[in-house]
A and B are shown apart, each in its own frame.
Chain A
Amino acid sequence: MYEAVHAHPDGESTVARFAKTAADYGYEGVVVRNHSSARASYDADRIGEEYGIDVVSGVEIRAENPQQASGAVGNFRTDETIVAVEGGTTALNRFAVENDKVDVLAGPMAREGDVNHVVAKAAIDNGVRLEFDLGSVLRDHGGRRVRAIQDLGKLEEIVDYYDAPYVVSATPRSHLELRAPRELVALGETIGLSASFVEAGLEEWGMLAERNRCVQSDSFIEPGVERGRYEENR
């Protein structure tokens, strides 16, 4: 299972600290999804080796409008393994799910964002994962938390009906905000997401990373076609 984190300077803990804590908690990997304006510098291989955990590079694009987001997606797609777009308005949500270069629509229900059948179908067509953000349930209180739980319930109904792809994350900004997978599963169950649903959502980050690494590797030509071992000597 993987967790997608905001590392220093976007969050408060460095990638290494996240990796160390996540490895203790039983995660198999962390996805670094810093916002495009606060990139982290780190040595993924060294950290991975030191703490025995997979470190996946990524970005979460925060944009005012689809035009701006579109440019950023183009810039980051070649270098980053996972490209997420922060949703939160109808326009941005539509942009993200209609763009097959985007992997994840982060926080689709945040702020004025909303998800309906059109968004869900577009997400299926373009393979864009809708994110279930448990962060607000873990860290907010009162009315905001009630609304967050309602939104997650609505999203779950839509995702479940159309069988749309999704990921689950607690969006931690420091190693203290990280929670172990079993805690997230238990929390999901109390708010109406089944254990297998949350587990699959946490696994999805890993599968996404594996697929994108394969697609971005030099030996990949197109789906089903890879450079074989006999080509090298030509």
Chain B
Amino acid sequence: MKHLPKHLRPRWRYLAVELETWGDGSIDRRSFQRECWYAGQNLLGDPGSARADLSVVRFAFDDGTGEAIVRVRHGETDRARAAIACIDEIDGASVGIWVRGISGTIRAAEENYLGRRGQVTEERNVVFGNEERVAVVRDGSADVRLEEAFAGATDLDYDLA
């Protein structure tokens, strides 16, 4: 089909989103997209989420952190931001989510707000709370593996074993 003349094409805004989960867990694009739409539907209702769009156009995730770009209809950015903030779990894993910024083009969103990833993630033995534990360490932060869960810590909280 012939594409629309320029003045009729929808105007988009692109939300640069940063994601985080415990340890070195992973999240795939498909489940992030599903959660975005669910969150939109739950908070904004069907008409609201149809207006907002919330499609994931870029996604990368490895070693516990990730980045995504979410496409939103112009003028719906605040509602989209609220819906995205309500994403609490993806596939049962709790996630931290943060909208770094909003741009008018995908390229600007990537260049201005993303690209902090690529820090080295490593496993280390640490002493946390008087016990020796394994921690996933990245950029001064550490997720310490306890018996059944993780504890979020930083360099200030543990000694190297």
A pairs with B: yes
Which A residues contact B (CB, under 8 angstroms)? 8, 12-14, 16-18, 20-21, 24-25, 43, 46-47, 50, 137-139, 141, 145, 174-180, 182-184, 186-187, 189-190
Chain B residues whose CB sits within 8 angstroms of the CB of A17 once the complex forms: 141, 152-154, 157
A190 touches B82 (CB 8 A): yes
Which residue on A lies nearest to B97, using beta carbons? A179
Known A137-B86, A190-B43; contact A14-B81, beta-carbon cutoff 8 A: no
B residues with CB within 8 A of A: 20-22, 42-44, 78-79, 81-86, 88, 94-99, 140-141, 149-157
Q: Known: A14-B152, A46-B156, A138-B86. Is A180-B98 also a contact (CB below 8 A)?
A: yes
What are 6 A-to-B residue pairs whose CB atoms are below 8 Å? A8-B152, A13-B151, A20-B140, A20-B141, A183-B81, A189-B82
Q: Which residues of B contact A176 (CB under 8 A)?
A: 20-22, 94-96, 152
Check A190 against B98 for contact (C-beta < 8 Å). no
Chain B residues contacting A46 (CB-CB under 8 Å) are 156
The docked-state distance in angstroms from the alpha carbon of A174 to that of B82 is: 19
CB pair A180 B99 closer than 8 Å: yes
List 5 additional A-B contacts (Cβ < 8 Å) besides A12-B151, A14-B152, A179-B85.
A8-B153, A137-B86, A141-B42, A177-B96, A189-B78
Task: Report the minimum CB–CB distance from B159 to chain A (whole Å).
Answer: 14
